[in-house]
Structure 1
Amino acid sequence: MTAKRIDVLDLLRGVAIMGTLGTNIWIFTSPAGPAGVLDALGGTGAVETVLRFLSNGKFLALLTLLFGIGLELQYRSAARRGASWPGRYLWRAGLLFAEGLLHYLLVFEFDVLMGYAVTSVVVAYLIGRSDRVVTAWTAGAGVVFASMVGLVTLALISDDTPASPSRPGTLFTDGSYADQVAARIELAGFYRLEAVFIIPLGITLFLLGARLMRAGALEDSARGAALRGRLMAAGLGVGVPLNLLTSFAGDDWVLVDRYLLPPLVALGLLALITGVAHRMSRLSGGVPGFARRGLTAAGRTALSCYVAQNLIASVLCYGWGLGLAAKLADLRPWWTVAAWAGICLLLATLSALWLRRFRRGPLELVWHWAYTAPRRRLAAADSSGR
């Protein structure tokens, strides 16, 4: 890959990370916190519904596509070295699972890294197979997931029992940090349900991301532009209107609104952002502007930014921190938007400053040290054996 294409990939990661916070911030700024996730994401009026629509599910799907592209790059790297596959990638997936487990226990109930780790192991054994096998798995996993969403949606629509208003708990407004950790352990089955539920979708998007990479979706070329045009037509021309409709359709359509249509929109976003980035790069002579530098830096330190944004939001919103979720509840949705923008600006700035001195983000450095530990031990053993 060229350096230019890697920059585009980092930019996409930065946008995806910031966009994921755009959904999670509604959970953090709800007085009920993650325990009231359905109320937090349900919207209370047209303005909040539109604001929630802008990010809900779309950037999670974009991030999932990018994980698939990353897996494709790892596969290519192993092939160039003549290394066995999946080989060391399984150790990589294990580290990702451990990172996700710690993130879940210590920071955020709806961590996605554990689910990505499990999905990556499945996809690692598929990514090098024939196009026919990959297409069958992509379509099959997609059909399974769509069927699951459809069945649950039909059950919700056919249920005439009115939903009773939920009573916000006090765990996230008055509870201690230790209380929240204990609750994550006790309610792991509830909080980890989403990660298990979306594994078929993850398989589909991982494989689709890898195939889009091979098809040239990130290339600044004629074939790349043609493919991006088709993706934008489907994702933005068809997906956006349908997703906006389901955003106003009521709670019965929550799964379609969050999981089924956003991946289609994410394909359009991937194409749009990539195309705009290539065009701006040509116009500027390859010199990135302030916004692109910040987003690219966030993409290069994506793991650190993902964990940091949830940690910062916890400190701002929960009772053991500043407790702003309860204090500013009457200012939703506007204070929610301000919190998101402030955290994004802070992380983009800090990431850019950090990368002036280091090649990797803080957590990326620790992660790389752990990933290369087996090789260091083998090298030390060989050296002592001589």
Structure 2
Amino acid sequence: MSGRITALDVLRGVAVLGTLGTNIWIFTDPAGPGGFLDGASGPVEALVRMVSNGKFLALLSILFGIGLAVQHRSAVRRGQRWPGWYLWRSALLMVEGLLHFVLIFEFDVLMFYALVSVAVAFLVGRGTRVVWGWLVGAAVVHVLLVGLVTVALFLGEASTGGGLAIDTSGWWAQVRSRLDHFLVLRAEAVFVVPLSTVLFLAGVLLLRAGALEDSVRGRRVRRRLTGWGLGVGLPLNVLTTLAGGEWFAVDRYLCAPLVAFGLLGGITALVHRMRAEPGVLRAGVTAVGRTALSCYIGQNLIASVLCYPWGLDLVGRFGHLGGWFTAVMWVVVSAVLVLGASWWTRRFSRGPVEAVWNWAYRAPQRRSAVV
């Protein structure tokens, strides 16, 4: 059990830091958050962006599904009604995501996760055949949507460039811009909701299959994940990245999630081969995984303060350095997260956001118990 939990914490930490690898391009774009939507300036930058684009967010989605399945198992073991209070968790996540979107980050995913978690909560306890049926159905819808957008891109009926202007001259001005462009900024739900449904349900099935276990069946599952995800998905990801903007949807929403399964298999296998006592790097990544929600929100807040004109405006000073500046910013913010999470977890059992969130989750339960 401890090995499985350790692997899960490491995976979450890698996913959060990897997601920062995508988001940092948004913060360091001289044209602001909207400039990121116009894509890379050349093949070299496109390949650098490819390293993180889409795959770690997909990995985070798979892990969310695994976490949901773990909570379901715990509720069943305790004889608790399901989904029961889990729906309150989803409601809190929606509120958390809305606040995160409005106050901190235009491209929040927590709101989407909250929506998908409600649907998956009613499926997690069903038989494997039923779960597979819903997974395949969501996958068909997702592939059709990606196909339609790809055809539109080839026909010139759509564009990957958003032309979206987000005012970053002041924090309140940026908040107003997010609200003014709310529907446009939330339009990615067309892809994220069906894709997240697939990935959440895949996480449920992977937990059942023992993918995180240090066992014979676990190693068998991980070999398949690594083979398909890195052996097939990664080369396809490179091809679609270099093929041009017309393949944007295929690259981000089909190939990248396939690579995420390979990352899950490879990273978990590596964790099980490591010595029991974690080194400094693994301990730091594990700490980030234990405080994943705090670090996900924190990385966007820190990057905003460092990069935007209403903060330290480092983009205004060093944005002309391009990818080098972006890479340095990723290292700096990642280091802050790792060091901060390590310091915090040595003193507290939960991250700061997790602690507040847990209080809000428990409060109505305590009240109903008293009544």
TM-score, scaled to structure 2 = 0.97
Percent pairwise identity: 56
What corresponds to 1:136 in structure 2?
133
* Cα deviation, residue 345, structure 1: 1.1
- What is aligned with 1:221? 215
Question: Would you say the 8 A contact 1:218–1:274 is kept in 2?
Answer: yes
Counterpart of 1:320 in structure 2 is: 310
Q: Which residue, 332, 342, 347 being the options, matches 1:342?
A: 332
Shift in Å, 1:37 = 3.0
**CA–CA distance in structure 1, aligned partners of residues 330 and 143 of structure 2:** 31
Which whole-Å deviations, capped at 9, do the CAs of 1:205-254 have from their partners, x for residues lacking one? 10001100110100111111111111111000000000011111111111
Question: What CA distance in whole angstroms lies between the structure 1 residues aligned with 2:307 and 2:200?
Answer: 33
Q: Using the alignment, how far apart are the partners of 1:75 and 1:196 within structure 2?
A: 27
Q: 1:111 to 1:167 in 2, by over 3 A?
A: closer
Match of 1:21 in 2: 20
Note closer, same or farther for the CA distance 1:31–1:169 as it changes in structure 2 (3 Å cut).
Answer: farther
**Does 2:228 align with 1:237?**
no
Q: Measure, in 1, the Cα distance between the counterparts of 2:184 and 2:162.
A: 17
- 3-state DSSP of counterpart to 2:211: coil
Structure 1: any 5+ residue segments left out of the alignment? Answer: 382-386
> How many pairs were matched up?
371
Q: CA deviation at 1:45?
A: 2.3
Change (3 A) 1:327 1:222: same
Matched residues in 1 for 2:124 and 2:165: separation? Answer: 45
**Deviation at 1:195?**
2.9
5+ unaligned residues in a row in structure 2: which ranges?
none
Aligned-partner Cα distance in 1 for 2:286–2:347 = 16
Equivalent positions of 1:165-184 (< 5 A) are: 169=165, 171-172=167-168, 175-184=169-178
Shift of 1:160: 8.0
Cα distance in structure 1, aligned partners of 2:191 and 2:161: 25
The answer to whether structure 1 residue 149 and structure 2 residue 146 are counterparts is yes
Aligned to 1:77: 74
Shift of 1:168: 8.4
After superposition, the Cα gap between the structure-2 partners of 1:358 and 1:185, relative to the gap in structure 1 and judged at 3 Å, is same
Inter-partner Cα distance in structure 2 for 1:114 and 1:156:
27
Match of 1:102 among 94, 99, 103: 99
Q: Tell me how far apart the structure 2 counterparts of residues 231 and 76 of structure 1 sit (CA, whole Å).
A: 24
Are the structure 2 counterparts of residues 262 and 164 from structure 1 closer, same or farther at C-alpha, using a change threshold of 3 Å? closer
One-letter code of the match for 1:171?
A: D
Mapped partners of 1:134, 1:153: distance in 2:
28
Partner of 1:3: 2
8 Å contact 1:115–1:196 — kept in the other structure? Answer: no
Tell me which stretches of 4 or more aligned residues in structure 1 moved more than 4 Å: 163-170
CA contact (8 A) 1:235 1:267 kept: yes
Q: Does 1:379 align with 2:346?
A: no
CA distance in structure 2 between the partners assigned to 1:73 and 1:199 by the alignment: 21
Residue deviations 1:346-382 (CA, integer Å, cap 9, x gap):
111110111111000000000000000012212333x
Distance in 2 (CA, whole Å) between partners of 1:379 and 1:168 is 49
C-alpha change, 1:160 and 1:145, in structure 2 (3 Å) is: closer
TM-score by length of 1: 0.93
- Indicate how the Cα distance of structure 1 residues 75 and 169 shifts in structure 2: closer, same or farther if over 3 A, else same: closer
CA deviations over 1:242-271 (Å, ceiling 9, x no partner): 001111111111111111111110000000
Distance 1:116 1:164, change over 3 A: closer
Q: 1:55–1:111: structure 2 CA closer, same or farther, 3 Å change rule?
A: same
* Structure 2 residue 13 is matched with structure 1 residue 38: no
* CA displacement, residues 66-100 of structure 1 (integer Å, 9 cap, x when unaligned): 00000001110110011111100000000010100
User: Is the contact between residue 32 and residue 168 of structure 1 (CA under 8 Å) also seen in structure 2?
Assistant: no
Following TM superposition, by how much is the alpha carbon of 1:5 offset from its aligned partner in structure 2, in angstroms?
A: 1.1
3-state DSSP of counterpart to 2:37: helix
Shift of 1:326: 2.7
RMSD: 1.6
Specify the SS of the correspondent of 2:278: coil
